[in-house]
Chains A and B, each alone.
Chain A
């Protein structure tokens, strides 16, 4: 398995820094040899169930301690109370204190940050307003819909105005409208200079969310970076898919097959184009331009077909990508 791991900035005091971190649960591997640096903005941890996303999140929040290696969150050890003042965590579990209303849930834990009563009330109300639950704040959380419960968890995680927000599968169970709202809120929070770390096993989702990806597979970091940059680093001498919209796809396919770097061509079902797999994208584009300029084919649009997280992940870990 190729690993494209950027280690620049790992030694810096800012951000969230993992240095050769491993976590084993007895004989079972959680994560192994993780070295990475997470900067402000939205970072997505991606991978199937069991890849190590939650373990990585639990490590950075201090809920579990590493078997080996070091972690620094904003320059502090994860279990330092200074970290908890600046970190909010929204767990994947749909669990709440029994009998609590939305407001009681948020305010109850906010008190543990030492705020005075009035400040607790103000902050709880502000956080609840920010997730759009003001009208439901006095209702019991047990009666909330799944989307509302996700929202109130988010309100609880950010009520103390943390610099680092760790959100484990925050979009699970949300309808498209709620997803869109959450993504907007994540972007807003990131634009304020916060670290927003989001996990997901749904790859196309992270294309919409993340500035940076950390791809995990069976406890290892398979790749880390921005999606286009990662693809660029990986595809040197590696196949890449390119979609071409054109008027005569069969004719174009026959011409493209004369090039030695083209290894596969699939005609699109609608008959208006094809997807070519090439080992050399630059030479492919040159050839396509040449054919178009000679008027042999009418090219309407050209785009990389796999410059998304799903393709990157599929490339990195093979058939297990979802």
Chain B
């Protein structure tokens, strides 16, 4: 072990304030540091495998669809149905399954995973205030989820358009649709992410509540109008560029204007993240008593 102090100074030792940075720039660097650690944790370790597998599933399905359409064109005279089928597929598979379980994997362990791995103290013993740390981790996870599932959204959308020629995906209406789907994917990540972040912050065994929430989102079309207001799916449907079939038993309500739907999802996420940040600021960390 070296006995030289290298660049260490002892100013911080004997009661004199050390030369640690402060101010807005330092806080920004610190928050980016939290996000960088989170990205490394989520995207560069085996943790990424489950979300990655989920993200690949729609690509496999839409790729198969495209192959079938190209090889059996006689069954698909009306290419307009592809848009509707993609819209239904997007809601049934991408939102309700892929985004739901992908965000479950990415957000539930933002705090809980660090406690289980006994690494949270490294973060808590830095000058980053706990609420800001939680928010930075959430933003990082929204970035990870948007990257993975945004790529899936774009990829599956392009695959669906292959039978018509890939160029058809870059025409005006198709680009608007793609933009809408991408926005929905990001908003879905924000909404589900906020919920799972909070769930992982307050519950040790969130399984039953996850199952309930899955059913809640899946059967949102059966919920009475009042309860639809607390469903992420409800607001995402308001942003769908192509009308989707809801089935004969659906309880229909007046569609929410897109701008309101966006704000509602953001508000929903903000409340969840805000509560998670508040919980983090008040919670004791104790891996076990010594």
Contact = CB atoms under 8 A, between A and B. Distances in A.
Interface string B20-45: 11100111011011101100110011
A49 B10 contact: no
Contacts of A163: 12-15, 18
A185 B1 contact: yes
Contacts of B5: 126, 130, 192
Interface stretch (A92-100, A270-278, A306-314): A92-100
B284 A65 contact: yes
A95 B129 CA distance: 22
Interface stretch (A50-58, A206-214, A225-233, A249-257): A50-58
A245 interface: no
Interface string A298-321: 000000000000000000000000
A114 B7 contact: no
B172 to A, nearest CB: 43
Interface residues of A, number: 72
A280 to B, nearest CB: 38
Interface size class of B (residues with CB under 8 A): 35 or more
Contact of A84 (B1, B12, B126): B126
A193 B14 contact: yes
Interface stretch (B57-65, B117-125, B185-193, B250-258): B117-125
Give chain B's interface secondary structure class.
loop
B287 interface: yes
B4 interface: yes
- Most chain A CB within a 10 A radius of its CB, from B5, B11, B122: B122
B78 interface: no
Contacts of B17: 86
Interface in A29-53: 30, 40, 49-53
B183 interface: no
Contacts of A132: 1-2
Contacts of A98: 41, 45-47, 117
A217 interface: no
B27 A114 contact: yes
A162 interface: yes
Interface in B126-142: 126-129
Given A85-B20, A113-B30, 6 more contacts: A95-B119, A97-B119, A108-B36, A111-B30, A114-B26, A162-B18
